[in-house]
Amino acid sequence: MKRLSIIGAGNMGSAIASLFLLHGWQARLIDPSEQARLSSRRKVLGAQAGGSEDDSRISWHASLAAAHDAELVIEAAPENLELKTEIFRQLEDICSPQTILASNTSGIPINMLAQALSRPERFIGAHFFTPADIIPLVEIVPSLLTAPETGEYMLAVLRGTGKLPVLLKQDIPGFIANRLQHALAREAISLLEKGVASARDIDTVAKWSLGVRLALTGPLEQRDINGLDIHHAIAGYLYENLESSRQPLRILAEKVEQGRLGVKSGHGFYDWDQPEQRRSLQRKDAALRRLVSLLRESETEGHAEQ
């Protein structure tokens, strides 16, 4: 049986474990926090068919030593360079020289993490997206020192779990998805700060125009469909009016200072203490699963017609 160890038993680590369990892997979740391990146990076992608690393929541990015989280790610890570096240094002492080590970081350069390792050729970035057991994409990011076969291994493993991995040619800050996401979010936050529309109306525009199209057509493909001459003409006068701040916008900084952090604190751009907002969260995962299923059907039909 293929053995996976996951460092970090939070939402991301738990979802990754659920994904691999569904595809026949043995998974060990490692986290020094007993509360995190207990919470993860409820999430993972609740996600399995029947909610069985006697699944011998999943276990929870406090020590990194539990990863000693893993074929693959995926780190999903907090976004802290020193913490991640120390975790991987210890893992190199604990694990076999053949073990593949992967980081789920969404922002720390893979090259920076690789430089601290003695076996950087077997280290790679594997950026999952929340919820990791539903969203198909994973960004695979090799460092300058990663061996080509390590990238090929990660592509094969993730495709075997039904994922759609993309292998980046360069390790750049934010990779691809976060750069696109932050560009859109910066403009949306700027529109809110300027009083152009309410948060709900701005989100409505994004979901029911861009969002609907993006589910089937990427931004570069859409430019081809619209016509590059048209896009070039609009870009000529629009770019100078787009938000270009090099720092987080004032309205965002103020909300963070006030502790208005979003769902986790009950307030952010929305009031998450309202019952209807809470219910919308509960519906999103189920809706995402249906959407992914429909998109996969569309992709399959498209390939069959080619």
Rounded Cα distance, 244 and 263, in Å: 27
Per the annotation, the verdict on 127 as an active-site residue is yes
Please say if the pLDDT value at position 122 is more than 90.
yes
Q: How confident is the model at residue 52 (pLDDT cuts 50, 70, 90)?
A: very low
Structure tokens at 35: 């509360």
Query: Tens digit of pLDDT for each residue in 196-207?
Result: 999 999 999 999
Contact 91, 100 (CB under 8 A): no
> Does the annotation count 178 as an active-site position?
yes
**299: pLDDT confidence band, cut at 50, 70 and 90?**
confident
**What is the tens place of the pLDDT at every residue in 12-37?**
999 999 999 999 999 999 999 999 99
- Report residue 51's pLDDT band, with 50, 70 and 90 as the boundaries: very low
pLDDT at 277: 83
> Is residue 241 annotated as a catalytic residue, yes or no?
no
Q: Which of 104, 139, 143, 190 is catalytic?
A: 139
Q: At CB < 8 A and 24+ separation, what contacts does 52-56 make? A: 55/21
Supply angle C-alpha 241, 242, 246, rounded to 5: 120
CB 74 within 8 A of CB 6: yes
Verify whether residue 257 is a known catalytic residue: no
Catalytic residue chosen out of the listed positions 106, 111, 143, 190: 106
Taken in order 102, 172, 239, 222, is the CA torsion positive or negative? negative
For the chain, percent of residues with pLDDT exceeding 70? 96
**pLDDT score for 238:** 97
Per-residue model confidence (pLDDT) at position 275: 85
The alpha carbon torsion through 228, 234, 237, 239 (nearest 10 deg) reads -70
Pairing label, strands 72-75, 3-7: parallel
pLDDT at 78 over 90: yes
Average pLDDT over the chain, rounded to an integer: 93
Write down the catalytic residue from 121, 178, 187, 267: 178
Share of the chain above pLDDT 90, in %: 84
Q: Which residue has the tokens 């859409």?
A: 222
